[in-house]
Amino acid sequence: MSGPMYQASARTFTHNLKNLSTILRKAQKDAKSRGIEESVLMNARLAPDMFALNAQVMLACDIAKGACGRLTGNTPPVFADDNASFAELQVRIKSTQAFIRGIKTSEYAGSESREIEAENPMGVLEFSGADFLYGWALPNFYFHCAAAYDILRHNGVPLGKADWLGQVPGMTARGPIVKMFGLKQKAKPKKTPRKKAPAKKK
């Protein structure tokens, strides 16, 4: 049985990277249909001091693989930060997912108390594994995924909440929401016929 640290890290990262990949495919198709050069979207940003779309995706991947690597003691692969097309971003996402999936579930055991160090240009941050994951890695990961989604939505790509959430692992549904999320209709539980009480003898 997988523990909460594995569920909150590996499973969460791979699911949301899958959604990000789907969003990028839709954006690529939409750009082609509207005659927009890929470079226009790659360099689009929400504000002058924010990263462009391609950097947002690259950072999301780096945070995901870096977090899983730190939590389990595995060295994540290093990717060149030169992805300038949808195809190159898709390769980065797939490579990130492959690294994360290659880590055994058992390697996350005890990671909540592992001492984590995260370097940045200003210095070194220190956490317990749990504080690092829940307070640093996940919020940063979601920030960059959301920024990528928002950049594309702002530039007219027809995306919605269903694209952001995707098919949540383990989720089933009934009713109109099934079509919205592209899910399989959950069969209604069969009613067990009530047994008739035996007739009383007169």
Torsion of CA 176, 181, 183, 186, to 10 degrees: -40
Domain count, the chain: 1
184 pLDDT tier (thresholds 50, 70, 90): low
The answer as to whether 76 is a domain residue is: yes
| Cβ pair 46, 150 in contact under 8 A | yes
| Cβ pair 145, 16 in contact under 8 A | yes
Long-range contacts of 98-105 (CB under 8 A, 24+ apart): 99/65, 99/68, 99/69, 99/74, 100/10, 100/13, 100/14, 100/64, 100/65, 100/68, 101/10, 101/14, 103/10, 103/68, 103/69, 103/72, 103/74, 105/2, 105/3, 105/6, 105/10
How large is the average pLDDT for residues 110-119? 94
The answer as to whether 195 is a domain residue is: no
Contacts of 98 (CB under 8 A, 6+ apart): none
The answer as to whether 192 is a domain residue is: no
The answer as to whether 202 is a domain residue is: no
Could you tell me what percentage of the chain is helix, strand and coil, using 3-state DSSP and rounding each to the nearest 5? 55, 5, 35
Tokens of 50: 């924010």
pLDDT score, position 3: 87
The answer as to whether 190 is a domain residue is: no
How large is the average pLDDT for residues 69-76? 97
Cα–Cα distance between 165 and 152 in angstroms, integer?
16
Tokens of 18: 């899958």
- Full domain range(s) for residue 65: 4-181
pLDDT of residue 61 exceeding 80, the answer is: yes
E strand spans, the chain? 115-120, 123-128
The answer as to whether 186 is a domain residue is: no
Q: Helices 86-101 and 53-72: crossing angle, nearest 10°?
A: 10
| 3-class state of residue 165 by DSSP | helix
The answer as to whether 82 is a domain residue is: yes
1 pLDDT tier (thresholds 50, 70, 90): very low
Q: pTM of this prediction?
A: 0.86
Amino acid at 165: L
The answer as to whether 69 is a domain residue is: yes
Domain with residue 138: its CATH number is: 1.20.120.450
pLDDT, tens digit, 9 for 90 and up, residues 116-143: 998 888 999 999 999 999 999 999 999 9
